[in-house]
Structures are given as structure tokens and as C-alpha cells.
Amino acid sequence: MKKTILITGASRGIGAAIARHLAVFDGSPSRLILNCNTDTEGLATVIDEIGSAVPDCQIVPMICDLSDAEARSAAFARAVEASGGHTPHILINNAGIADIGLLQDLSSDRLMAILTTNLAAALDLARLCIPGMIRRMHDTEANANCAILNISSVWGQVGASCEVAYSAAKGGLNAMTRALAKELAPSSIPVNAIACGLIDTRMNRLLSPEELADVIDQIPAGRMATADEVAKTVELILSAPAYLTGQVIGFDGGWI
């Protein structure tokens, strides 16, 4: 059965890797709703790659700034309409932005963008997806396997100096995961999160080689993880029994 899967921040890095891995899920080609904001060229590349590898995978782009509530809601509605009215079985909240610097030096606009992109958008997209997920689970649709999975960060667990807004947003995402899991457990819809450590993405490549080396020196595994490794972990969690819910699963090489 074709699963409809919404992945935010899918034009590169972890989101793109997740899209490639879930192009076929649960034995069938998927229907992917892939979100990005400005990197439409990157998203087009991901779509072309998946289309070549899995021709039967239907892909619908969802272009919007997730920090803009009206744009987010309108883009979601257009994406569902373009996919034949199919609301997502699975929501993967991956999109995230961060700045490195003192909180006092962060502008109010940038502060709100970090909080809304990393947290408010995830809450709102869950709100939009849940009614369709519940209908699937309580109707006669076989093998519905609905789920919500949030891509979080170790900083949401322990906090990071000079990334206060990002840490606060990811901490909120972890709290959302645990609370929403309790709401949706009676409907057998699991809600989990992956608290990522140092992943080899464009965001972390903003660090200097010396800064990267210093962080890696603190990681028992002795290296960064790849986006592909995160995507494999996503697939494992989504394939687990629905009894696995409300968990913030560390993926950090033993770092935290």
C-alpha cells in the first residue's frame, strides 16, 4: 500500500537522505510530499534522483517558509490536493535553522524565525495531519501505520552556549514529542524524536576545521555521523511496533 509521507526540509542533508530512503517504504513505492523554502534547485535534484531510482514514487513539492503560518497552511493544503487528496500517513518534522552567537546579539526577527521554524511549524503540521491519521487508523484502511517523527538535537536535551534559541526550540520539540505521544497512543499513532549529535551537514560545516576537530574529540565514536545514517535510523523507528512511542532517541555516537 502506498504511504503518503511529508518530510520538511527535504532539499538537502538529513531531509534529502530521509526522502531517498523512504521512496520505498513498507514494501511499496511511497507518495512523498517534500518541503523546502528557498533551495528549490536542491529539491529538484532530490526529486530527479528519486524519480530515476523509484519511478513509481509519486513526489509532490511543498514550497514555503515554514516560519510563516499562513504560507505553511496554504502550502500544506495545496500539497494534499496535488497528491490526490491524500493526507500524510507519516509526518517527519526535519526542517531546522540555527545561529551561533550570544542570545543578546540575536535580532527579535531571527529569534522568532528560529522558534517558529524548529518548533511552531512542527506543532502546526502535526495539528494539520492528525485528523487524517486518526481517520485512517479508525476506518478500515489496512496497514495504515501512521506516525510522527521529529528530528531533534542533543542541544534540546542539554542545551548549548551560543545556541540558546535553537536549544530552546529543540527542547520544546522533545516535550512536544512526549506529550503528543500520550494523546495519540490510544489511536496507535506513535510519536518519537531522534536527538541528533554532530551530523555531517551544511549547517555543521559552518564550523571551522579546528572547531569541528574539537567537537569530534569529545565524541566516543570519534567522528561525525552521516545524513544517510540518520535516515536509516528513521526507517528503523518507523518500522517498529507502535508501542515504541514518546521516546527521544539519542543518535550521537555516545557523546551526551
Work out the burial of residue 208: count CB atoms within 10 Å of its CB; fewer than 13 is exposed, 13-18 middle, 19 or more buried: exposed
Dist. CA 155–CA 127, nearest whole Å? 25
Contact 5, 30 (CB under 8 A): yes
Tell me which of 25, 76, 166, 251 is the catalytic residue.
166
For the question of residue 166 being annotated catalytic, the response is: yes
Residues known to be catalytic: 166
